[in-house]
Structure 1
Amino acid sequence: MWRNTRSGWGWVSIALHWLSALAIIGLFALGWWMTGLDYYSGWYNEGPWIHRSVGVLLLLATVGRLVWRLFQPTPHAEGGRFEALAAHLGHLALYALLLVALVSGYLISTAKGGGISVFGWFELPATVYGFANQAEMAGTVHWYSSLTLLVLAAGHALVSFKHHWLDKRLTLLRMLSARYARRNS
């Protein structure tokens, strides 16, 4: 039940999917809120520290998720050829935007050569830094990729509801429970 099959997602994929979704929404909300903080706010340093820490954990989880997908079967797509192609391209776009947002966030945080402390547990070192306007350019990429990611993720959620309620497919249920997908496939 923890591994994927051709009929459904396993618990590892399901957990990584929903934890990523929560982290993406939380990071976007926190990031947007942080832009309005002034120097005298108690969250002026705390908010970015949490944002960076969760971002690094999401980056590590995303890399793990991609490696996991390489070695696991992908459940068959429901619907026609066009829908399967659209789903595949949509998922590729989600992963690409997520990686762009995470890497650009890393480039903002390490632009001056300092690493990123992840909740004080470990430090992710700076590997690429010192480029002219690195933080500003990465910041622009980070904002637009994050915004686009959130919009595309909202579309992803809406399409899953369409498949569930209008098309009467198991698409959404397969991402909610590994047991349900296996019983009904």
Structure 2
Amino acid sequence: MFTNTRESYGIVAIVMHWLSALAVIGLFALGYWMLTLGYYDSWYRLGPWWHKSFGITLLALTVIRLVWKFMNPKPQPLGSRFDQIGARVGHALIYALLLVTMISGYLISTADGRGISVFDWFEVPALITSIPQQEDIAGTVHWYTALTLVIAAAGHALAALKHHFVNKDSTLTRMLVVKRSDSNND
């Protein structure tokens, strides 16, 4: 039930997947909205605080997801060989974009030598501050990788819907519902 099996994902993988999806959508929407804020807007400082806090949280969740992914069996891939290769490439792309987006966000936020406050609970220190034009370069990378990530995530969702409605297989449902194993090895 908690861990993956060869037939389905466990509750831990499912919850981390959907929390990540919500965080990506929310962070992109918040980041895009922050571009419209003026200096005297009440959210000018509060928006970035939330964005950075959830961004660091998503980074931690992504690292945990990757560790979990390598420690658990993967459910058997479904669909054609082309579908399976596409899924592997798509997942690798999404993870790479997640990491590059969050690392570039970290580099933007710490370019001035100040750490990142995470919900005022703790601070992530500024470890890299000496890259020439760090804030500008990281800002450009952050914007384009975030945009590409949202597009890739939309493609991921469309592929899941294609599996559900066209292929009529369980690709989508096994990321929505925990299937109890008959062997009770969970």
The runs of 5 or more residues in structure 2 that have no matched partner are: none
Q: Hey, what does 2:125 align to over in structure 1?
A: 125
Q: What CA RMSD, in Å, does the superposition of the two structures yield over aligned residues?
A: 1.0
Q: Hey, what does 2:89 align to over in structure 1?
A: 89
For these two proteins, the number of residue pairs brought into alignment is 182
Q: Hey, what does 1:33 align to over in structure 2?
A: 33
Q: Say if 2:103 is the partner of 1:103.
A: yes
Q: Provide the C-alpha distance between the structure 1 equivalents of 2:163 and 2:76, rounded to a whole number of angstroms.
A: 14
1:113·1:130 contact (CA, 8 Å) conserved in 2?
A: no
Greater than 3 Å deviation, 4+ residue runs = none
- Cα deviation code 1:75-100 (max 9, x no counterpart): 11101212111100110000000100
Identity %: 55
Q: Provide the C-alpha distance between the structure 1 equivalents of 2:19 and 2:27, rounded to a whole number of angstroms.
A: 12
After TM superposition, the structure 1 = structure 2 runs for residues 11-90 of structure 1, keeping only pairs within 5 Å, are 11-90=11-90
Q: Provide the C-alpha distance between the structure 2 equivalents of 1:97 and 1:114, rounded to a whole number of angstroms.
A: 25
- Cα deviation code 1:130-171 (max 9, x no counterpart): 322100000000000000000010010011011001111100
Equivalent position SS for 1:127 = coil
Equivalent position SS for 1:170 = coil
Q: Provide the C-alpha distance between the structure 2 equivalents of 1:125 and 1:60, rounded to a whole number of angstroms.
A: 15
Q: Provide the C-alpha distance between the structure 1 equivalents of 2:103 and 2:63, rounded to a whole number of angstroms.
A: 12
Task: With the length of structure 1 as denominator, give the TM-score of the two structures.
Answer: 0.96
Q: Which amino acid aligns with 2:111?
A: A
Q: Provide the C-alpha distance between the structure 2 equivalents of 1:162 and 1:131, rounded to a whole number of angstroms.
A: 44
Shift of residue 179, structure 1, vs aligned partner: 2.3
